[in-house]
Structure 1
Amino acid sequence: MPHWEDPPPLPAAWQRRDAAILPLWWERLCRQTSPQSAAIYAAGLFTDDRRRPIAQWYNEAADAALLVAPESSPEWPVQRFGIFYAPPGGGFTHVNSAPHEWHPRQPRQSPTEQEAFLAAVVEAERFLQVEMYFV
Structure 2
Amino acid sequence: MSSHSDQPLVPAVWRRHDTEILPLWRERLCAEMGPTVASRYAAGLFFEDRRRPIAQWFNPALGAALLVGIETSAEWPVQRFGLFYAPASGGVIRVHTTIHEWYLRTPKQSPTEEEAFAQAINSAESFLQVEMDFI
**TM-score bin, normalised by smaller chain:** over 0.9
Q: 1:6: Cα distance to partner? A: 3.8
Q: 1:31: Cα distance to partner? A: 1.0
* CA–CA distance in structure 2, aligned partners of residues 56 and 2 of structure 1: 21
* CA–CA distance in structure 2, aligned partners of residues 2 and 91 of structure 1: 35
Equivalent pairs, count: 134
Q: 1:8: Cα distance to partner? A: 4.6
Q: 1:106: Cα distance to partner? A: 0.8
1:33 aligned partner: 33
- Give per-residue Cα distances to partners, 1:3-58, cap 9 Å, x unaligned: 9x644521110000000000000001111111000011111111101100000000
Q: 1:91: Cα distance to partner? A: 1.1
Moved beyond 3 Å, runs of 4+: 5-8
2:80 aligned partner: 80
TM alignment of 1:12-31, pairs within 5 A: 12-31=12-31
- Indicate conservation of the 8 Å contact 2:8/2:125, yes or no: no
* CA–CA distance in structure 1, aligned partners of residues 8 and 119 of structure 2: 17
TM alignment of 1:1-135, pairs within 5 A: 6-135=6-135
TM-score by length of 2: 0.94
* CA–CA distance in structure 1, aligned partners of residues 73 and 8 of structure 2: 34
The unaligned stretches of length 5 or more in structure 1 are none
Root-mean-square deviation (Å): 1.6
* CA–CA distance in structure 2, aligned partners of residues 40 and 62 of structure 1: 27
* CA–CA distance in structure 1, aligned partners of residues 3 and 22 of structure 2: 36
TM-score by length of 1: 0.94
40-49 or 78-87, which deviates more: 40-49
Evaluate the alpha carbon distance shift between residue 44 and residue 11 of structure 1 in structure 2; reply closer, same or farther with a 3 A threshold: same
Evaluate the alpha carbon distance shift between residue 2 and residue 101 of structure 1 in structure 2; reply closer, same or farther with a 3 A threshold: closer
Evaluate the alpha carbon distance shift between residue 10 and residue 113 of structure 1 in structure 2; reply closer, same or farther with a 3 A threshold: same
* CA–CA distance in structure 1, aligned partners of residues 55 and 119 of structure 2: 12
- Give per-residue Cα distances to partners, 1:74-108, cap 9 Å, x unaligned: 00010000000000121111001111010011110
